[in-house]
Structure 1
Amino acid sequence: MSETATSPDQPKTGEWALITGASRGIGAAIAQALAADGYGVLLNYRSNHEAASAVEAQIREAGGVAERLCFDVADATASGEAMTALVAGDKVVSVLVNNAGVSADTAFPAMEREAWERVLAPTLDGFYNVTRPLVMPMVRRRRGRIINISSVSGLIGNRGQVNYSAAKAGLIGATRSLARELAKRKITVNAVAPGLIDTDMSEDAPAEMIKHIPMRRMGTAEEVAKLVRFLASPDAAYITGQVIAIDGGLT
């Protein structure tokens, strides 16, 4: 299923940023931050039309440009159709933020294959499905920012998250390799690894987890968005292949 809401408005920069999983949490905060910098933002989401519409409305009310782009990044066919149409259109996508992901925590002996595949698909297949079509257009323009949202679970692991940690660690490996391939084309590829962030995904996190964070608090989606905003900016032109943890000192 796909749905695109169009707008006659053009972004101030003349360029667009595509954020996957942008209907809530970290993705929504990143979209709002990049819109504030003058990018038109493409809000990818899988099914929550109401939430995506709310983010779109907030960006437009603030004077930004936003459009919704509904497709499941884990679905190769749906992603292929959406990305082919996007690349063939008139939008110059210079920033890609691979943020879409889910968790399905359980002890590994009890983890069924469905839980394994459900977590790895949006992160790793989603990275491939969305990133690959945009790479050559970026190469031809010799400009681009690819920012992958990983996790501290991909750096240090976490009990009950073998699937999630594997997905996020795989994304880190992809980040470092792709950065080497694209550096001479002036395209940067970096990863952001959030720790415990106050979003819907962390609402069931045990309170004692905060005791292990040196800052003794959760981070906010807006703090993660500010880091992504920097990595997307001209000031970060010499930063590539890096994994930056934003976790209150946890790692």
Structure 2
Amino acid sequence: MSGVAGRTAIVTGAGSADGIGFATARLLLAAGARVAITSTTERIHDRLAELGAGPDRAFALPADLTVPAQVTGLVDAAEAALGPVEILVNNAGMTQVGGDVPGGRLSEMSEAGWDYGIAINLKTCFLMTRAVLPGMIARRYGRIVQMSSVTGPLVGIAGSSVYAAAKAGMLGMTRALAIEVGSSGVTVNCVGPGWIRTASSSEAEITAGRHTPVGRPGTPAEVGHAALFLASEEASYITGQMLVVDGGNIIQEYKGGS
């Protein structure tokens, strides 16, 4: 298997040491890829140090991916450091350091809250994807992996309407884009995590994970392995799909029984 060896990847939303983005970056690096990581804060440099790779293998830059100029700057800097971007993992979203993440019932949500939720979860994905696509198409090779969710595309949670809308929008964008670029050697897929235990998980979320058929929440690395596969050369005939990583939770009707 050639996997991702020798390829250059960008992983967004990799600022948390216990998050899905950083776990994915570590797996890509271990599999032989060159990896650029980003988050909204300077803590991304701590993650770079933890990767323990030289400047020819790993790169980090903080960026606000809702700002087009910062997206362009990130891609340009990553390519200058590591070479043309051939893999993009759009993991940024859900939460943003320093931001007020919108929640609550739709009827009570402000327009600003809605716009912010769409911006950090969906607009970031659009801007990053648009920035790397021309190069991928020109080289006739690319792997784009969007970190969607089961929430939105498959299930819903009261009080999470903007998050669900953004994640469902991500899947819709993925399917349309897969058709647009399929003949150019570029695949576009989603990963759909369920209950995953990260540093930001609430006790209620961890409890919900215990009621999956597997009997526990997932780990960031388990999601990262799914992203790694979709980013690999071997996934060349898979596009426009969502790979669900949820311990089987969506297949069961009774979720709280013994």
Query: Shorter chain as normaliser: what TM range?
Result: 0.7 to 0.9
Distance 1:244 1:21 in 2: 19
Q: Write the letter of the residue equivalent to 2:9.
A: A
- Equivalent residue, structure 2, for 1:149: 147
Q: Write the letter of the residue equivalent to 2:202.
A: E
CA contact (8 A) 1:87 1:133 kept: no
Following superposition, the deviation at residue 64 of structure 1 comes to 8.6
1:59-208 map, 5 Å: 59-60=51-52, 65-86=57-78, 91-103=83-95, 104=101, 105-155=103-153, 156-206=155-205, 208=207
- Equivalent residue, structure 1, for 2:254: none
CA RMSD of aligned residues (A): 2.3
User: Structure 1's 21 and 177: CA in aligned 2 closer, same or farther, altered over 3 A?
Assistant: same
Corresponding residue SS for 1:17: strand
CA contact (8 A) 2:88 2:144 kept: yes
Following superposition, the deviation at residue 207 of structure 1 comes to 5.2
Corresponding residue SS for 2:87: strand
Aligned residues: 238
CA contact (8 A) 2:196 2:209 kept: no
Following superposition, the deviation at residue 42 of structure 1 comes to 0.6
Among 29, 38, 42, the residue aligned to 1:35 = 29
Distance 1:79 1:170 in 2: 20
Distance 2:181 2:161 in 1: 30
- Equivalent residue, structure 1, for 2:39: 45
Q: Write the letter of the residue equivalent to 1:157.
A: G
Distance 2:247 2:56 in 1: 31
- Equivalent residue, structure 1, for 2:227: 228
- Equivalent residue, structure 2, for 1:9: none
Cα deviation per residue 1:57-100 (whole Å; 9 max; x = unaligned)? 22225999211121111122322333355567761111000000
Question: Between the two proteins, what is the percent identity of the paired residues?
Answer: 37
Distance 1:115 1:169 in 2: 18
User: Structure 1's 14 and 206: CA in aligned 2 closer, same or farther, altered over 3 A?
Assistant: closer
CA contact (8 A) 1:23 1:45 kept: yes
Q: Write the letter of the residue equivalent to 1:69.
A: L
Query: What TM-score do the two structures reach when normalised by structure 1?
Result: 0.87
CA contact (8 A) 1:36 1:64 kept: no
Q: Write the letter of the residue equivalent to 2:188.
A: V
CA contact (8 A) 1:87 1:134 kept: no
Query: What TM-score do the two structures reach when normalised by structure 2?
Result: 0.85
CA contact (8 A) 2:71 2:131 kept: no
Q: Write the letter of the residue equivalent to 2:89.
A: V
CA contact (8 A) 1:19 1:44 kept: yes
CA contact (8 A) 1:84 1:133 kept: no
Q: Which runs of 5+ in 2 are unaligned?
A: 96-100, 251-258
Following superposition, the deviation at residue 115 of structure 1 comes to 2.2
Following superposition, the deviation at residue 13 of structure 1 comes to 4.1
Q: Write the letter of the residue equivalent to 2:143.
A: R
CA contact (8 A) 1:198 1:219 kept: yes
Q: Which runs of 5+ in 1 are unaligned?
A: 1-11
- Equivalent residue, structure 2, for 1:26: 20
CA contact (8 A) 1:94 1:145 kept: yes
- Equivalent residue, structure 2, for 1:5: none
